[in-house]
Amino acid sequence: VTLRLLGEVDNESLTKGRDWILSRGSAAAIPQWGKIWLSVIGLYEWSGNNSIIPELWLVPHILPIHPGRFWCFCRLIYMPMSYLYGKKFVGPITPTILELRKELYSVPYHEVDWNKARDTCAKEDLRYPRSLLQNVIWTCLNKIVEPALNCWPVNKLRDKALKNLMKHMHYEDESTKYIGICPIDKALGMICCWIDDPNSDAFKLHLPRIYDYLWLAEDGMKAQVYDGCQSWEIAFIVQAYCSTDLVNEFAPTLRKAHEFIKRSQILEDHPDSEAYYRHRSKGSWTLSTADNGWSVSDCTAEALKALLLLSTISPNLVGEPMKGERLYDAVDCVLSFMNKDGTFSTYECKRTTSMLEIC
């Protein structure tokens, strides 16, 4: 689909790709995330998706099923997905899209059984079979909950839920300088901003930060799974250098690394963090840079260790040590990641019951 949208019409890769897709049950057998993307561009019907109801964000936060209690990556990826599902947004149906509808399915597009496609997944993509409980839950959502939510006057909740989701997505954009926590929520969130207002500042601010995820490798362009791991790797590099007798030889490098680590610390908590389900940020380090905004416990711990090692070396070689107050903030932040059972989490503490894993 990507190659066709980029203008390719006939080449060996397209032929092999199409043959593979059709032999695995056609595009109807694409996994859930793929179904979402194809629905957005008009190559799959929204009725063939399992319900990702945006109203779930309106249930009381005390309930273990509230998305604010889900792990951040799950929460932030399904946030724009639920917005797109709630909007049932479909892009322009161009001649290329009409051609792709013919190419991706073994039957005419209007004859595809979307109810069957909803639960169809190629065996190569089926990471784990759905349990009986999951089947019951999805059936109830698709057959009862979603139809009920679309009936008057209950359908008034959808507009409220979508506005609430957009507010949360704007917060995520602003607190990460439009980078997002990963390229998945970044791309989906950018589309949501465009749907909300194609001429918005939010959408325009998203565009230049696409490049944070792109990397030109020996065999072509790549999209990284994160916007980098600068803070994480530099902390380890510093620790490695400090474990040798080569500090004097690499002093200029260590001085630059020291400055980078000091500048990469997040100095304040994000405003209204609790209302948007964000963990403490003050004193932390991200995996990449301060712009990313997502504090990580182990990244903070390794950066702190690197700073303590550098503080034992002459400032003439590696620069002035970090102020004590900022080191204390880092310690406080690491301790804030401790769960009630004594374990430590990465991006945020445990927020819900492990019973959800049964689902």
For residue 338, list its beta bridge partners: 344
Q: How far apart are CA 153 and CA 164, in angstroms?
A: 18
Among candidate residues 298, 329, 332, 341, the one labeled active-site is 298
For residue 344, list its beta bridge partners: 338
Cα of 116 vs its chain's centroid, Å = 28
Long-range contacts of 200-208 (CB under 8 A, 24+ apart): 202/170, 202/173, 202/178, 205/173, 205/178, 206/173, 206/178
Residue 222, φ and ψ in degrees, nearest 5: -120, 155
219 is an active site residue: no
Q: How far apart are CA 319 and CA 256, in angstroms?
A: 9
Confirm if 65 and 353 have CB atoms less than 8 A apart: no
Q: Is the peptide bond before 80 cis (omega within 30 degrees of 0)?
A: no
Long-range contacts of 309-318 (CB under 8 A, 24+ apart): 309/238, 309/239, 309/242, 310/238, 310/242, 310/254, 310/258, 313/242, 313/247, 313/254, 317/247, 317/248, 317/251, 317/254, 317/255, 318/247, 318/251, 318/254, 318/255, 318/258
SS3 content of the chain, % helix, strand, coil (to 5): 60, 5, 40
DSSP 344: B
Catalytically annotated residues: 298
